[in-house]
Amino acid sequence: MKDFVSLKAKEIQPSATLSVNKKARQLQQQGIEVINLSVGEPDFDTPEEIKLAAEQSLKEGFTKYTDSSGILELREAICEKLYRENSLAYLPDEIVVSNGAKHSLFNLMMAILNPGDEVVIPAPYWVSYPEMVKLAGGQPVICARNERFTVELNHLRELITPKTKAFILNSPSNPTGVVYTKKELEDLAQLLLSREILCISDEIYEKIIFDGKAAISIASLSSEIKDRCIVVNGFSKTFSMTGWRLGYLAAPRDIAKAVANIQSQTTSNPVSFVQKAALVALKQNEKLYQPMVAEFARRRDYLIKNLPNQVIYPRPDGAFYFFLSLGKIPSEQLATRLLEKYQIAVVPGKDFGADHFIRISFATSLDNLEKACQRLQAAVADY
Ligand code: PMP
Ligand code: GLU
């Protein structure tokens, strides 16, 4: 039988986070009491105010194509947000709104990469980065971490070649929850500037941050680095809107224009009435996400107190993950055992470029976390 699948498609791994989630849901549907600590999505309903805005917009017939980069009103509101909260001055034609931050990132890779261009990704990384780079014809280059689980700059320096086009920064990080300090960002910015490398700053977990800390956008450090940055953000995490699919990027005008052209020829505009709902999200802002973030902080603190003493992890100051090591057990073997014997669904660290770790998400109830800690305790005693 003739093989019709492209070489490009064959190279791509399915998203591990989404696959484990699917498997856990299937087991739950069979009546097995699986504690699902796999997928990273807030377990809260989207705030009522946002839903009402979408409903209202539907009733008013806002159901047609919009400007393919997103309605001007929303791009203006995003500019205001970036200025107010991140000290970043952008104009609406430097913003492209897409169907989720994942889509923004993929459009971006298509817009900046020539065949063989290299993108440096520090491990552990979010599962989709290397695959997106490959799909766009680029070459992912994995960089080591330091003891803080931020990028090891000496290794980054060694990896840079004339083909290096971009570096991907994700702070707060998926899968570790680690937040880069200002000094770490300054040192990174200096290196990237000196070697003329773009910085893709994925700031999707920006608001999910604890202990009164704030995530700094690397683009806000100087106008020189801002000119080399593409800031990516979205509504999925902050406003618990994963299923609505809305994200955006802010970029120097030539890159934003290239992204806008790609989007106009592929998916066109993000969903019309979702854009109207996003306007309300940005307007009401903190009031909508603060209660959720406070609950995440409680759960993070609970896990710090109750995870088995034998497990080690970098302390998560943001996002809703722990990246745990239980010793030298290969992560896929461990994840399979945890699911089959203890009914806990976790994502193997291998998929994040760090075997010997597993990622757990605490976007689930305290009740579930309590049970998960008991089961992990039993699992650890078994090894
Ligand atoms: N970046 C990171 C680091 C993520 O964890 C996610 C999770 N989905 C995304 C981007 C994309 O989010 P979305 O497409 O839902 O906006
Ligand atoms: N980003 C989330 C996660 O890492 C959602 C799933 C996905 O898009 O990968 O679990």
125 ligand 1 Cβ < 6 A: no
Calpha distance 142→336 (Å, rounded)? 26
Span 216-233, pLDDT tens digits: 999 999 999 999 999 999
Sign of the alpha-carbon dihedral angle for 186, 166, 225, 221:
negative
**Element (DSSP H or E) covering residue 383:** none
- Which pLDDT score, from 0 to 100, does residue 348 have? 94
**166/186 same-domain check:** yes
Which numbered ligand comes closest to the C-alpha of 101?
1
User: In this structure, is residue 53 part of a structural domain?
Assistant: no
**82/193 same-domain check:** yes
**322/277 same-domain check:** no
**124/257 same-domain check:** yes
41 ligand 2 Cβ < 6 A: yes
User: In this structure, is residue 1 part of a structural domain?
Assistant: no
Calpha distance 128→242 (Å, rounded)? 16
Closest alpha carbon to 223 in 193, 246, 197, 245: 193
Which atom of ligand 2 approaches the CA of 361 most closely? 10
For the chain, what is the total number of helices (H) and then of strands (E)? Answer: 14, 12
**CATH number, position 237:** 3.40.640.10
- Which pLDDT score, from 0 to 100, does residue 24 have? 85
Domain of residue 142, residue span = 62-284
92 ligand 1 Cβ < 6 A: no
**312/292 same-domain check:** yes
- Which pLDDT score, from 0 to 100, does residue 180 have? 98
Calpha distance 352→359 (Å, rounded)? 9
Calculate how far, in angstroms, residue 328's C-alpha sits from the geometric centre of ligand 1: 29
User: In this structure, is residue 112 part of a structural domain?
Assistant: yes
Report pTM.
0.96
Q: What is the pLDDT along the chain (383 residues), one digit of tens a residue?
A: 899 999 989 989 888 888 888 888 888 898 888 999 998 999 999 999 999 999 999 999 999 999 999 999 999 999 999 999 999 999 999 999 999 999 999 999 999 999 999 999 999 999 999 999 999 999 999 999 999 999 999 999 999 999 999 999 999 999 999 999 999 999 999 999 999 999 999 999 999 999 999 999 999 999 999 999 999 999 999 999 999 999 999 999 999 999 999 999 999 999 999 999 999 999 999 999 999 999 999 999 999 999 999 999 999 999 999 999 988 889 989 998 899 899 999 999 999 999 999 999 999 999 999 999 999 999 998 87
Calpha distance 223→220 (Å, rounded)? 7
- Which pLDDT score, from 0 to 100, does residue 245 have? 98
**CATH number, position 356:** 3.90.1150.10
Of 266, 284, 302, the position where a domain reaches its end is 284
Which numbered ligand comes closest to the C-alpha of 363?
2
User: In this structure, is residue 105 part of a structural domain?
Assistant: yes
Work out how many domains the chain is built from and give that number: 2
**28/119 same-domain check:** no
Three-state secondary structure along 199-214?
A: EEEECCCCCCECCCCC
170 ligand 1 Cβ < 6 A: yes
**130/210 same-domain check:** yes
CB atoms within 10 A of CB 127: 22
CB atoms within 10 A of CB 374: 14
**233/351 same-domain check:** no
**264/373 same-domain check:** no
User: In this structure, is residue 2 part of a structural domain?
Assistant: no
Closest alpha carbon to 172 in 153, 154, 185, 159: 185
The residue nearest atom 1 of ligand 2, judged by CA position, is 40
- Which pLDDT score, from 0 to 100, does residue 364 have? 95
Q: How many CA atoms lie within 13 A of 280 on its CB side?
A: 18
Of 223, 253, 284, the position where a domain reaches its end is 284
- Which pLDDT score, from 0 to 100, does residue 23 have? 83
Calpha distance 154→144 (Å, rounded)? 9
- Tell which one of 128, 322, 359, 362 to mutate to probe ligand 2, the residue whose CB is within 8 A of the most ligand atoms: 128
77 neighbors 237 (Cβ within 8 angstroms): no
Of 262, 284, 306, the position where a domain reaches its end is 284
**279/298 same-domain check:** no
Q: Is 18 helix (H, G, I), strand (E, B) or coil?
A: helix
- Tell which one of 168, 236, 241, 248 to mutate to probe ligand 1, the residue whose CB is within 8 A of the most ligand atoms: 236
Which numbered ligand comes closest to the C-alpha of 245?
1
**245/111 same-domain check:** yes
**165/305 same-domain check:** no
